[in-house]
Structure 1
């Protein structure tokens, strides 16, 4: 027993922590659970492939907006009341999504899911910081951090399995029993607190409006930019202007508001600023690879949604295994060493995936996915701890909102840039490879002549053989573009690794306390 140590948390406190973890799991899982079901959903609600992407984008946009607002809403309504309302509304919006018969209904439901689900992510860290004594926070952090990793990797697998074996509707209806458990734990684990409606009078309305316009506009620009040919589109110009105005309003709120809705002053703390930037890159890898790998397996290896989801899920295994070990690790390993090891593992895993070929299948991702999962677990769990340790306890809510917004924003930026990179590099590789297939090459001519009969006689047969060459070249170009995406992710991680040296070690005595 350590003298002066705070007493251990009681059962109700742990129920509150578990509730926070469940809420974060559902919110992060629902980002990706529709990805594998998207083609089926689009067909049933009559949406085109371009329109169908808004089923995912609508959730992401609203979630990114609400996360930084959560600390303010929590102060105004009280943590228990706020989470109960959000969980109940999340359930109702999930039902609305499952019952949708057209795109408009689905998008409204997904926006509602994003707002209510996103509010449950940063509150998990707030519960840990306020309901657990310092020496037990590593256990809570491990539980919470694991859910943030498991949600995105479980989503494609669970969504694919439910769609293949039951119906896509259950990808939304599954939230009903889980949210019932969540609300029960919240009722037992958290004490009611008085509302502070005077927060409305003193609210940073400039900042609130700026967050909606700035983060919402930025996310849509990133998501739609590639499809709209970026600044060749009037829509992208208008949304960029909205984004700029929004960020100006956020800046004015920082200057004039009595209590800014998002405390950007925390970024002046170099330790927390490093956590923020590293969180951006972890989000980029977490959501970026969950997007790229299923695409590769579907296009090159012919995998269905459930099979591709199983490969993505591999990266969640190390996170699940590390959860019980984390309190011991945090007591023995320097935080900076652990985060650096995690980032190096993630960079190495992406580099391993630069050797993909047209013959590659899911087995080629086994090692890299396990490496990536271990790296994500080390980085995420220790960065969660670093975020709490680098700020005062009364700033935990603001820090949590910024850190979680960074992770989601990193994912959104990665998805947009990876989609653009894939299109540009595939076109580059296509024409580079095609230019190497010379029409006057006797080998090429002999192959075309030999294959022409397969596609019919005369000009039709020749055109068929030439089309077959083009398809082979396109397939190879696609594989090379996927390789370029993994190269980009590996370099992006490597560039930010030095920021680990700026992280603040845990307070003296924290390591010893973590063991009890």
Structure 2
């Protein structure tokens, strides 16, 4: 049940991300308009974690599971009736709400299947079940599109959701004590947090599509988000029983945890945005990269099983440092790609990236949960909100910033490549004649053939500029991962020195 629910929830947004061009074509939308499907989903899903935890503790797991999956089924079924962009964006926003409980359900079912002594393993495997949707969406998408075009994607989601609903009806989770209750102040705080985080998600997602400095509404969204979040924080600081413990969340330990989550998500965007975008620039589609995605899926499963069996919540830094070393190696190897690179040349590097990605979420989550539960369940709610916001915002930031970096570097390299191209150069003239030869049997006008040859040469220059830009992006990810690795090792060394001093002090005192 955990794997089934996790995959169902994970496929939701990832199956849209993997097939965005096909869905845009079916809806008659431009790439910028199609990006609103992603922005709407994240805008609604990013802020629901804290309320869902409280709902679970107040009304019980049975109602939590039934309402969560019931809403997911209704929203997914409504997608089959959607044939225009506005309704599709509205339904994506609704699905962001409906999909929010799915990860929690996957973890809860996994923890129910393992003994109490292996709780850390269960959390890691439950988290892994929810992450399998990332590569799996690209593995199954080509066949689904051939069967039912873009509605075929939603038919699979609906079928999985119905099977999940039948499963949770037959296999009930054990009850939990109902210890928390909603307060009116929670609604006021959520009314500020939700639109603030939602506007932030929209601005981050859409910035590279409408370009950051050319769309005034991006600045308005960011400024409004800052005001709303600041007002929510002030309100929470003056509440007797706040929804989020801002003082604890702003402690050094929690801020370091948040920074680690965001930095890791930025580094892992090399796989979801960098490698896939690079292959698409070279003209490859999902069906031509299926073997690559199968390797990523298998590597991710192995990684989650490995970390699940070896995880130590009290020592999260060791697996993080190991994962970062793999990311550094994979990104640096990818930074030497050429226009002749194909998926086969990335099997090793992307397998390493998928394997390393599995080592990131479980240790950080278990470390935070252990710190929160040592204080109170209210702190657990605060940590869940921090962790969820960090993961989602880090993922959005990674995709957006890496995509923006590629665009900027492509313009730079394109200028460098084309400024020296001149027909006065014998080599350039010979290449234009060679390319124009492809039109010898269709165009009788020599000037038109020459113009087509120049156009083809410009396309090749643009492709090479994109190759160089993606290499720069891969190198940037490697540098970012290296800096994060140094930071993590520094933290680990500082903790070791502190423990050593504590042990020496205890020996002296003894």
Q: Following TM superposition, by how much is the alpha carbon of 1:425 offset from its aligned partner in structure 2, in angstroms?
A: 1.0
Q: Following TM superposition, by how much is the alpha carbon of 1:127 offset from its aligned partner in structure 2, in angstroms?
A: 7.0
Q: Does 1:319 align with 2:307?
A: no
Q: Does 1:478 align with 2:466?
A: yes
Q: Following TM superposition, by how much is the alpha carbon of 1:109 offset from its aligned partner in structure 2, in angstroms?
A: 1.5
Q: Is the 8 A contact 1:209 1:249 kept in 2?
A: no
In structure 2, what is the equivalent of residue 377 of structure 1? Answer: 358
In structure 2, what is the equivalent of residue 283 of structure 1? Answer: 265
Cα deviation digits, residues 304-328 of structure 1 (max 9, x gap): 2233354234223123124444454
Cα deviation digits, residues 477-497 of structure 1 (max 9, x gap): 011111122122222222223
**SS in structure 1 at match of 2:473:** helix
In structure 1, what is the equivalent of residue 224 of structure 2? Answer: 242
In structure 2, runs of 5+ residues without a counterpart are 500-510
Cα deviation digits, residues 242-269 of structure 1 (max 9, x gap): 2112221221133123333334444345
**SS in structure 1 at match of 2:102:** coil
Q: Does 1:426 align with 2:410?
A: yes
Counterpart selection for 1:349 from 330, 345, 350: 330
Q: Is the 8 A contact 2:76 2:95 kept in 1?
A: yes
In structure 1, what is the equivalent of residue 481 of structure 2? Answer: 493
Q: CA RMSD in A?
A: 3.1
Q: Does 1:396 align with 2:380?
A: yes
TM-score (normalised: structure 2)? 0.85
Q: Is the 8 A contact 1:153 1:313 kept in 2?
A: yes
Q: Following TM superposition, by how much is the alpha carbon of 1:270 offset from its aligned partner in structure 2, in angstroms?
A: 4.1
Q: Following TM superposition, by how much is the alpha carbon of 1:41 offset from its aligned partner in structure 2, in angstroms?
A: 2.4
Please give the alpha-carbon distance, in whole angstroms, between the structure 1 residues aligned to 2:386 and 2:294: 27
Please give the alpha-carbon distance, in whole angstroms, between the structure 2 residues aligned to 1:192 and 1:418: 44
Cα deviation digits, residues 13-57 of structure 1 (max 9, x gap): xxxxx44x5444333321211233333322333323322222222
Q: Following TM superposition, by how much is the alpha carbon of 1:410 offset from its aligned partner in structure 2, in angstroms?
A: 0.8
Counterpart selection for 2:95 from 91, 95, 113: 113
In structure 2, what is the equivalent of residue 12 of structure 1? Answer: none
Q: Is the 8 A contact 2:273 2:402 kept in 1?
A: no
Q: Does 1:361 align with 2:342?
A: yes
Q: Following TM superposition, by how much is the alpha carbon of 1:240 offset from its aligned partner in structure 2, in angstroms?
A: 1.7
Counterpart selection for 2:128 from 137, 146, 156: 146
**SS in structure 2 at match of 1:85:** helix
Aligned pairs for 1:10-409 (under 5 A) are 18-19=1-2, 22-122=4-104, 124=106, 135-187=117-169, 188-191=171-174, 199-203=182-186, 205=188, 207-300=189-282, 302-330=283-311, 334-392=315-373, 394=377, 395-409=379-393
Name the CA shift for 1:286/1:23 in 2 (closer, same or farther; >3 Å). farther
Q: Is the 8 A contact 1:298 1:308 kept in 2?
A: no
Q: Following TM superposition, by how much is the alpha carbon of 1:159 offset from its aligned partner in structure 2, in angstroms?
A: 2.5
**SS in structure 2 at match of 1:360:** coil
Cα deviation digits, residues 286-310 of structure 1 (max 9, x gap): 455223333322321x322233354
Please give the alpha-carbon distance, in whole angstroms, between the structure 1 residues aligned to 2:418 and 2:36: 35
Q: Following TM superposition, by how much is the alpha carbon of 1:72 offset from its aligned partner in structure 2, in angstroms?
A: 3.3
Please give the alpha-carbon distance, in whole angstroms, between the structure 1 residues aligned to 2:235 and 2:186: 10
Name the CA shift for 1:211/1:383 in 2 (closer, same or farther; >3 Å). same
Please give the alpha-carbon distance, in whole angstroms, between the structure 1 residues aligned to 2:152 and 2:386: 32
In structure 2, what is the equivalent of residue 464 of structure 1? Answer: 452
Cα deviation digits, residues 48-70 of structure 1 (max 9, x gap): 33222222222222211323433
Tell me whether 330-339 or 464-473 shows the greater mean CA deviation. 330-339
Cα deviation digits, residues 382-419 of structure 1 (max 9, x gap): 22332323322623343233213211111111111122
Please give the alpha-carbon distance, in whole angstroms, between the structure 1 residues aligned to 2:380 and 2:286: 38
Name the CA shift for 1:386/1:22 in 2 (closer, same or farther; >3 Å). farther
In structure 1, runs of 5+ residues without a counterpart are 1-17, 509-516
Name the CA shift for 1:131/1:46 in 2 (closer, same or farther; >3 Å). same
Q: Following TM superposition, by how much is the alpha carbon of 1:241 offset from its aligned partner in structure 2, in angstroms?
A: 2.1
Please give the alpha-carbon distance, in whole angstroms, between the structure 2 residues aligned to 1:213 and 1:88: 25
